[in-house]
Amino acid sequence: MDALLANEPLIRLGVFTGVLAVMAGLEAGLPRRARAFARLRRWPSNLGVVALDALVVRLLFPTAAVGVALAVEAQGFGLLPWLNLPQPIAVLVAVILLDLAIYLQHVLFHAVPALWRLHRMHHADLDFDVTTGLRFHPVEIILSMVIKLMVVVALGAPAVAVLIFEVLLNASSMFNHANLRLPAWLDRGLRMILVTPDMHRVHHSVVPQETNSKLGFNLAFWDRLFGTYRAQPAAGHQAMTVGVAQFRDPRELRIDRMLTQPLRDHDRKRMASPRGFEPLLPP
């Protein structure tokens, strides 16, 4: 455990680059949909946002979530230390509850108009591939980190659980956003536990009712439990339109326009907020 925590930056970087490379290769060989834009048109901006997000997090949260977890763990503060669970059980419970927190955060970012304006940059990508799972507005990343730190403190989550969760979340976000065709039998099996690309793609539909469904990132059962599960897009995976109604201009793929999207609204009557969003009712 100590070796894992001591090498946290290398572990995170290694998993990130490894999963990104594997998913990029699989997308090239087993694409689910034809690309709307070449990688060179989208990837520099999407990966540029990743670099900017990483810099912002390191500047504002130098110890990150794992550092906070270590401090809390040393004090014995939080729900899990109070329950006095065996370490392996505490780690498992912490990972599951952190994943639930991210699901609920995702619901919040769709339900609150001001937060949706930040989150819609993620949805405004005009294509859907592994880099879509990495493009989040820096302000959203900051708010997400604050929420995560609050949950870590409240739970008294073991530091190793926080590291495992963050690595899994990053890897699963790249996996479930991949433009990857999985065999039907494998998709059916995996989606009983994990969010698969076909399972998540519907969430990036331009249709609001589909955008506001499938809010899980990692574990698949939260959507079924809370009624936000939608198996397939109405138009089918090949014909569905990806993106957000206001931002269809290819110029929106530029990083400068991505970063200013929360300040702009091309059509205030169309998805300025996700109207009719009912996260706790079946779609």
pLDDT along the chain (283 residues), means of 10: 70 93 96 94 96 93 86 91 94 97 96 95 96 97 96 95 94 96 94 94 94 92 93 90 94 96 69 42 30
Write down the pLDDT at residue 150: 96
Centroid of chain to Cα 168: 11
Signed CA dihedral, 199, 203, 207, 212: sign only: positive
**Cβ-based neighbours of 129, under 8 Å, separated by 6 or more:** 27, 35, 39, 42, 177, 178, 179
Would you list the domain boundaries of the chain? Answer: 36-263
214 near 203, Cβ under 8 Å? yes
The confidence score (pLDDT) of residue 11 equals 86
